[in-house]
Amino acid sequence: MLHVEGLVAGYGKVQVLQQVSIAVPEGDLVTLIGSNGAGKTTTLRALSGMIVPEAGQIRIGGENVAGMTSAEITRRGLAHSPEGRRVFPVMTVADNLVMGAFTRLTGKRPKGDVQADIARMYELFPRLAERRGQLAGTLSGGEQQMLAMARALMLNPKVLLLDEPSMGLAPKLVEEVFAIIRQLKTQKVTMLLVEQFAAAALEVADYGYVLENGRISAHGPAAHLRDDPAVRAAYLGAAH
């Protein structure tokens, strides 16, 4: 579904990603793990058109979207739940979800049944259902994270990019977020999950990539990476 080949990207003269290649097959959950500063967020920003890649191909269902604007890429069905729980703080939870369906409401993506999908989000994220009339800025960090995920899902995406959904959350909420990711996986949502919390990510994922200083240093079925001594030492040690 999503095929990234030889992606080179960065910020101005600072090249962060060096020839990154990643494949996310339809219905699979692929994780990109790596230390702080490895370039995970930069990868997702390049995929969703927030930064323009210098080289490489980003194919969504066969079409190369590298160089397109983020609006054009959104229309092709790529949704990005960004790092740091970006929600519209002075809009209600319900209105944030409607905004997630904006591209559908303007006819640039298949419209489907937006109301039914909002209802589905409230089933998946019961905490949001209880707070649907509340301004998003007044939600807790964990609830804002869930809203950012739900809003991205409202695109009915072909591929969902999740940037560190567990970041800064209390252990109980981390568990809740991962339970939701597992549920999305059973619903065959195609996902690329970026996580520093590598053990949990490799637990739910089908396949994993390790990013080190802007390069893919290892990749394989998630179960293999979990057993790889080098991966264990670097990312699955006592600190994680």
Ligand X SMILES: Nc1ncnc2c1ncn2[C@@H]1O[C@H](COP(=O)(O)OP(=O)(O)O)[C@@H](O)[C@H]1O
When the beta carbons of 2 and 128 are compared against ligand X, the nearer one is 2
Contact by Cβ (8 Å): 76, 101: no
Contact by Cβ (8 Å): 183, 123: no
- Give the shortest CB-4-to-Mg ion separation in angstroms: 17
When the beta carbons of 36 and 186 are compared against ligand X, the nearer one is 36
Residue from 4, 7, 16, 198 touching ligand X (CB under 6 A): that is: 16
When the beta carbons of 34 and 142 are compared against ligand X, the nearer one is 34
Site for ligand X in 20-49 (CB under 6 A): 34, 36-42
When the beta carbons of 85 and 109 are compared against ligand X, the nearer one is 85
- What are the residues whose beta carbons fall under 8 Å from the beta carbon of 68, sequence distance 6 or more? 49, 76
Site for Mg ion in 45-84 (CB under 5 A): 83
Site for Mg ion in 78-137 (CB under 5 A): 83
Contact by Cβ (8 Å): 46, 58: yes
- Give the shortest CB-40-to-Mg ion separation in angstroms: 5
Stretch of 10-18, 53-61, 85-93, 147-155 contacting ligand X, by CB under 6 A: 10-18
**Exposed, middle or buried by CB within 10 Å (0-12, 13-18, 19+), for 187?**
exposed
**Strand blocks (E) in 46-145:** 55-60, 63-64, 78-81
Which of the listed partners (Mg ion, ligand X, none) does 39 bind, with a CB threshold of 5 to 8 Å by partner kind?
Answer: ligand X
Residue-wise burial string across 90-109, b where 16 or more C-beta atoms lie within 10 A, e elsewhere: eebbbebbbebbebbeeeeb
**Measured at the alpha carbon of residue 124, what is the angle toward residues 118 and 129, in degrees to the nearest 5?**
60
Contact by Cβ (8 Å): 127, 141: no
CA dihedral sign, ordered 228, 229, 235, 240: positive
Per CB under 6 A, 52 contacts ligand X: no
Q: Which amino acid is at 119?
A: A
When the beta carbons of 39 and 77 are compared against Mg ion, the nearer one is 39
Stretch of 8-16, 88-96, 101-109, 169-177 contacting ligand X, by CB under 6 A: 8-16
When the beta carbons of 8 and 135 are compared against ligand X, the nearer one is 8
Report how many residues bind Mg ion under the rule CB under 5 A: 3
Radius of gyration of the chain (CA): 17
Residue from 4, 16, 32, 41 touching Mg ion (CB under 5 A): that is: 41
Residues that bind Mg ion (CB under 5 A): 40-41, 83
Which residues make up the interface to ligand X (CB under 6 A)?
11, 14, 16, 34, 36-42
